[in-house]
Amino acid sequence: MQTRNKILDDLSQLMTNAMGVAQGARDEASNAMKSMLDRWLADRDFVTREEFDAVRAMAQKAREENAALAARLDALEGERKPAAKKK
């Protein structure tokens, strides 16, 4: 036969409530740290990953366009030199 011990039931309830309070405090501390970190990063004017990737893509496209224009210019100058020698 098993009997219920009032002291153990009360202690169990107290520990359950304490764990709930501790978890709530942990969540609140975590949120406070995240907001402080976000504020600190915003004050430093760091770029986001999306902004960095967008600028990197624009730079890559500009390099490709410059290479294409350089090749076109070389081709045009190559056509022009033989015509100058004929005169």
Whole-number pLDDT of residue 85: 58
Question: Where do the domains of the chain lie?
Answer: 1-46, 47-87
Confidence of residue 22 (pLDDT cuts 50, 70, 90): very high
Q: In percent, how much of the chain has pLDDT > 70? A: 90
pLDDT of residue 86: 55
Overall pTM surpassing 0.75 (yes/no): no
Q: Is the dihedral of CA 7, 11, 14, 16 positive or negative?
A: negative
Letter for the amino acid at 82?
Answer: P
Interval 6-34 mean pLDDT: 92
Residue 65 scores a pLDDT above 90: yes
Q: How far apart are CA 62 and CA 56, in angstroms?
A: 10
Q: What is the mean pLDDT of residues 12-27?
A: 92
Q: How far apart are CA 35 and CA 43, in angstroms?
A: 12
